[in-house]
């Protein structure tokens, strides 16, 4: 056997982590092609695709595959996933809107303060793309791991 450990124990952590990293790398490449390389952008919030959504949909999909969709672990993963994705799309968008407003007030007042980040959340398209990446990527990785473990 190629892998000598119980893969099912670790796949639920490995696959979503890989999908998060993949989404971050894709996001960095897309940003770099548009604006030039900026290494700090490798870990920035927002933009396409949503790495939060890719990671959490991967977690839900992988948990459902390995533990079953009737398991309590799947229910917890699905609940946390939905809440986090909702926050990434709604709550963090509101935070960005507040940043825009505060930045405008500070500019009008002439006071010198560090500029707040205005793009923290995700659009629905970014979240949907992240979900697609998380599900399809997880399916592919599960199939690869199945072929490696026999």
Round to whole Å and give the CA distance between 47 and 6.
36
Quote the distance between the C-alpha of residue 142 and its chain's center. Answer: 19
Nearest to 55 by CA among 149, 122, 110: 122
pTM confidence score: 0.80
Q: Residue 49, preceding bond cis, omega within 30 degrees?
A: yes
122 and 45 Cβ atoms separated by less than 8 Å? no
**For all residues of the chain together, what is the average pLDDT?**
86
Alpha-carbon torsion 12, 16, 21, 25, what sign?
Answer: positive
Any idea where the domains of the chain sit in the sequence?
7-95+122-149
In tens, the pLDDT along 74-105 reads 999 999 999 988 888 887 777 778 888 888 88
Residue with token string 């990527």: 137
pLDDT at 3 over 70: no
């Amino acid at each position: 056997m190629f892998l000598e450990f119980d893969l099912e124990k670790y796949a639920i952590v490995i696959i979503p982590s890989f999908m998060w990293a993949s989404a971050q790398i894709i996001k960095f490449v897309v940003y770099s092609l548009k604006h030039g390389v900026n290494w700090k952008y490798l870990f920035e919030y927002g933009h396409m695709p949503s790495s939060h959504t890719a990671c959490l949909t991967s977690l839900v999909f992988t948990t459902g595959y390995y533990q079953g969709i009737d398991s309590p672990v799947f229910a917890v993963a699905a609940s946390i996933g939905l809440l986090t994705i909702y926050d990434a799309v709604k709550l963090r968008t509101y935070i960005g809107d507040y940043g825009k407003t505060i930045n405008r007030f500070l500019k009008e007042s002439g006071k010198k303060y560090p500029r707040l980040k205005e793009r923290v959340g995700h659009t629905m398209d970014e979240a949907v793309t992240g979900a697609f990446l998380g599900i399809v990527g997880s399916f592919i990785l599960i199939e690869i791991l199945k072929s490696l473990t026999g």
